[in-house]
Amino acid sequence: MRILLSALGSSGDINPFLAIALALRARAHDPILLLDPHHASRATALGLETRTLSTGIHPDAASEHPDFLHPTRGTGVFLRDMLIPCLEPLYLAARDILATEKPDIAIMHHVCFSIPWACEQAGVAWGMAATAPASWMSFADPNRYPMMPDRDAYRSWLLRPGNALGRWATAMMVDPHVNRLRRKLGLPAQRHTMLEQMFSGVVNLGLWSPNFRPPAADDHPRSRITGWPMLETDPACMPTDEQERLDAFLADGPPPILITFGSSIGRTDARAMQLIEQALPLLRERILLVAPSDAARRLSKDPASVCTVSYAPYASIIPRCSLILHHAGMGTTAQTLRSGIPAVLLPHAHDQFDNARRTRMLGCARTIDAHRATPDRLAEILNTTLGDEAMRTRCRTLADGFSREDGAAATAAALEEVVGAPKDADRAATPDAPPRVHATTASH
């Protein structure tokens, strides 16, 4: 089976597609990835066949925008200023790949709006994949969106007008820009691109654990929840000096609190860094901070109690920590739940509010509003969570189930079923043959 995979966004958006590509290759299929320049190099380091877009969403562009983390304006900033400019290059690159490679199916992140247009013109089956439940609107299992209170349940009579308002606002942000491009490409206008197009393909994938957000009664009939595709082999490497410092720190004392705000937040959230700096004296705990060096320098005055690194492999680091303070991005949330470690969550924007609420409702975290938190309140919640043995037991119990799931393999199996490919591909990979790697740039 020849399959085109594509995604745009942060590491939390890209990593699942890298994991799926590796799972497909392990089953003797031929994945080809279309990625932005920043993430394409990671795919080629994994030996995956890759095409590189002429442009993309660089992590610095997202993290340095002053409104990217705003609870209400942040999504508009991402869509208008970062995503929309990528759609035409994405369409043109996908059109060329479809013509030359003739894949059996194309699967893309649900914000890659323009690839389905190229697929329909080329007669190639396509499907979309969402990396977080917030992308699937549901009345049976409602999501928490920005400006909604953090509640276990929401009144049903409020959900319909609320969702209608959300659909309208999203359409106003996306559709005019999308239809301007569609007219340029000779395509008719369409409505509700962001929230409805994903359900028009042959399959719609939910790339999260069914124990995190199970299938809902009003999910689209072609929707499948396949689990978190975890990237077990990360080509990103720590600088040698950081690796040595981290190893020595972890071996030198009790498990620390891990603080991280993800690849698209850590560079700019000065308020969060200030909040942490002021809360540290109230904690009396060892701290491992994963953040860019500019932010880290402010907190590294005492190397015995605070270790700062710019990057760390979460899969191996989180199990060695006592607690995680993070932003509730989907990738960090998944890794934390699979590790069985309690968390304190400071959601900032986008899908983070819903991820935080669902984690809290599982009994695995406490949440605090990132825009209203005080040092005293943050320290109080961290100390309370550290001493909560019932939560720690709950986390370990659920982690056993989460860690048994193989979302990448389940996604590969689902695609085999959709395409009708045999589970053991007819053409087995030659063991001694090197992987096919093409790091070409699609520029138009």
2-228+405-442: CATH architecture: 3-Layer(aba) Sandwich (3.40)
Is CATH 3.40.50.2000 what the domain over 240-403 is classified as, yes or no? Answer: yes
Whole-angstrom distance, CA of residue 265 vs CA of residue 164: 29
Classify residue 389 as exposed, middle or buried by CB count within 10 Å of its CB (0-12, 13-18, 19+).
exposed
Predicted pLDDT of residue 66: 55
Predicted pLDDT of residue 68: 57
Predicted pLDDT of residue 65: 57
Whether 138 and 218 have beta carbons less than 8 Å apart is answered as yes
Q: Is 287 helix (H, G, I), strand (E, B) or coil?
A: strand
| b/e sequence 218-244, b meaning 16+ C-beta within 10 Å | ebeeebbbbbbbbbeebeeebeeebee
Whole-angstrom distance, CA of residue 323 vs CA of residue 325: 7
* Tokens read off for 340: 């069985």
What are the residues whose beta carbons fall under 8 Å from the beta carbon of 60, sequence distance 6 or more?
Answer: 267
Predicted pLDDT of residue 64: 61
Predicted pLDDT of residue 223: 95
pTM given for the model: 0.89
E strands, 58-100, where? none
Whole-angstrom distance, CA of residue 185 vs CA of residue 250: 55
> Do 240-403 and 2-228+405-442 have the same topology in CATH?
yes
Predicted pLDDT of residue 421: 66
Nearest to 196 by CA among 136, 141, 142: 136
Predicted pLDDT of residue 301: 61
Q: Is 77 helix (H, G, I), strand (E, B) or coil?
A: helix
pLDDT along the chain (444 residues), means of 10: 93 93 97 92 94 73 57 64 86 96 96 95 97 93 86 84 82 88 94 86 96 96 96 75 89 93 60 80 88 63 78 88 94 96 91 95 93 89 96 97 96 96 49 36 40
Per-domain residue ranges for the chain?
A: 2-228+405-442, 240-403
Whether 46 and 22 have beta carbons less than 8 Å apart is answered as yes
Predicted pLDDT of residue 436: 34
Q: What is the residue whose two structure tokens read 């005055």?
A: 301
